[in-house]
Structure 1
Amino acid sequence: MKRNVTLYTVDSFTEEIFKGNPAGVCILDEELDDHTMQSIAKELKYSETAFILDFRDNIYSIRWFTPEYEVDLCGHATLAASHVLLNDIKIPFDSILYSYNNGVIKASSEEDGKIGMDFPMDEPEANVSFDYSDIQKALGISEYTNVILGKHTGKLVFELKDENSVEAINPDFDMLKNISIQGLKGVGVTANSLGQYDFVTRYFNPWAGVNEDYVTGSVHTLLAKYWSVKKNKKDLKAKQLSSREGEIELHIIDDLRVKLTGKARIFTKGEIFL
């Protein structure tokens, strides 16, 4: 049976098109099978595509797929979906509840066109138990201040000495792809910022079919806790220094939750003919 799926492309964590991180958003009127969702994500080639289905009373099911596999959590595609629901579909609510495999995410309209998302907060492991020297070599890192591993997200992040060092990173993606470490779900670099931001970041995940992710909400659920402790503050502003750049505001809610806030722009709207 043929069916059409409404598809949006949304640039997230930016208010300008061609900036931030593009995500696909598929609005479903009934469930799709996993194979079809994965095929759509592979065809679109965005770092993530979100599939949302209205359950009832403003509660939506949400799932996220990279071009290669389904992921447990995604910030920028959730922001993209929220922007579509609140600003294009114009649901009669100011907030949305998303049900996903590990719980619930709440997204809410804020002033100045921003959307805040209540996410589970990650925390650094006490120590990194595996040898990451090959990753360090593939990233081209000669020196670093610290290395952080997300307890829940499995993301490995090197803290570098300054912002220029983060900008200068030029990974060997072929080498990265050939490194296999159980539980590792992406690698990044971060550094303190002396400007209007508290810290800067870049993030790489060639294993998911995306060499560099332009703006990554999920890695900031780890870095929010890390930089909050280092800077002794609960409100932080971060910039991801990819070629498209993007901004994320972070607010530590409590020991378990963090709010990620940003803007988004719809780039395209159309239909997928299945």
Structure 2
Amino acid sequence: MSQVDVYLVRAFSISGQGGNLAGVVLHADALTDLQKQSIAKQVGVSETAFVSQSDKADFQLAFFTPTVEVDFCGHATLSVFWLLRHLQHISAGSYQQETKAGILAVEVLLNGDVLMSQSLPIWSAEFSAEDIAPMLGLQPQLIAQSGLPIQAVSTGLVDVMIPVPYGVLDCLEVDSDAITRFCQQHQCVGFHVFEMNPPEAIYTASCRNFAPAVGIPEESATGSSNGALACYLNRHFGYQQAIFEQGRAVKMPSRIMTQLIVDNGELTQVKVGGEGAFSKLISICMD
């Protein structure tokens, strides 16, 4: 029986605290998908990233939740590149990662922060407040009063953007079983619920993300869904930069920064970033 070292890194942390733990396995070329899934299940965090060599990019990354492989994971990507820089395997600069969501650019800043390029948004189905609100323990009119649509958007993974009024985000009563059935039926990963903050606030919006269909009841920081939210807010309010807060409800406050590049009125690039922090190194037994 062999052992595999797994680094646990806090992605989107705030001054080294909070954030979202991701597992990172380096030199994963020899591992099978079954072994990767087993390791991710034993690690038990929302996603574990496996780093291998690539003939198309600087690195190949594969992402596994405790129950399933996913095409992309923003916070695990940040964790990988923050760790590579922390271990002095790479220096500050621009890199490319090969993922099942495509070849995506990553920038490692001099201070160690990581800025990831995501896929341009794919706009999918809109849903009614009457369908969505009961799964969050809300009255439909609370969602409808925002005047914003409930819409599935992807910049790597499909999440449903759900606006709620300011002050409501901490009062949700989530039906995880219903959300799981809905996401399986509509081929989406999870619900990204957000409330816009007052203009003077540090954060543009505060968010909660529920993805029980892929084994994550609530996630404290999500790069892909906040990339999608940045595009959503650009479409409806014209924002090109936004800072999101997430994880408050699970006592892991996180800060996610987003930047959109618009050329002649057309969105050309989606970037999501933040800081990382080392948590610990663990060893997983592998058959």
With structure 2 as the length reference, what TM-score do the two structures score?
Answer: 0.85
Matched, 1:250 2:258: yes
1:233 to 214, 239, 245: 239
Counterparts of 1:235 and 1:84, CA distance in 2:
26
Amino acid in the other structure paired with 2:271: K
* Counterparts in 2 of 1:183 and 1:57: CA distance versus 1, 3 Å: closer
Alignment of 1:1-274 (within 5 A): 3-55=2-54, 59-92=58-91, 94-125=93-124, 127-128=125-126, 133-142=130-139, 143-144=142-143, 145=146, 146=148, 147-150=150-153, 153-162=157-166, 164-179=167-182, 180-194=184-198, 195-240=201-246, 241-243=248-250, 244-254=252-262, 255-274=267-286
Residues 37-74 of structure 1, C-alpha deviations (whole Å, 9 max, x = no match): 11111111111110001336971110101111111111
With structure 1 as the length reference, what TM-score do the two structures score?
Answer: 0.89
**Can you give the 5+ residue segments of structure 2 that lack an aligned partner in the other structure?**
none
Give the Å deviation of 1:141. 2.2
Counterparts of 1:242 and 1:124, CA distance in 2:
28
* Counterparts in 2 of 1:34 and 1:251: CA distance versus 1, 3 Å: same
**Can you give the 5+ residue segments of structure 1 that lack an aligned partner in the other structure?**
none
Aligned residues: 270
Question: Contact 1:149–1:156 at 8 Å: present in 2 too?
Answer: yes
Secondary structure, counterpart of 1:177 in structure 2: helix
* Counterparts in 2 of 1:121 and 1:245: CA distance versus 1, 3 Å: farther
* Counterparts in 2 of 1:193 and 1:99: CA distance versus 1, 3 Å: same
Residues 7-36 of structure 1, C-alpha deviations (whole Å, 9 max, x = no match): 100111014455111000011252311111
Counterparts of 2:272 and 2:238, CA distance in 1:
18
* Counterparts in 2 of 1:31 and 1:247: CA distance versus 1, 3 Å: same
Give the Å deviation of 1:174. 3.6
Give the Å deviation of 1:138. 1.7
Aligned-residue CA RMSD in angstroms? 2.3
Counterparts of 2:60 and 2:30, CA distance in 1:
10
Question: Contact 1:7–1:24 at 8 Å: present in 2 too?
Answer: yes
Secondary structure, counterpart of 1:13 in structure 2: strand
Give the Å deviation of 1:104. 1.3
Question: Contact 2:8–2:278 at 8 Å: present in 1 too?
Answer: yes
* Counterparts in 2 of 1:217 and 1:208: CA distance versus 1, 3 Å: same
Secondary structure, counterpart of 2:34 in structure 1: helix
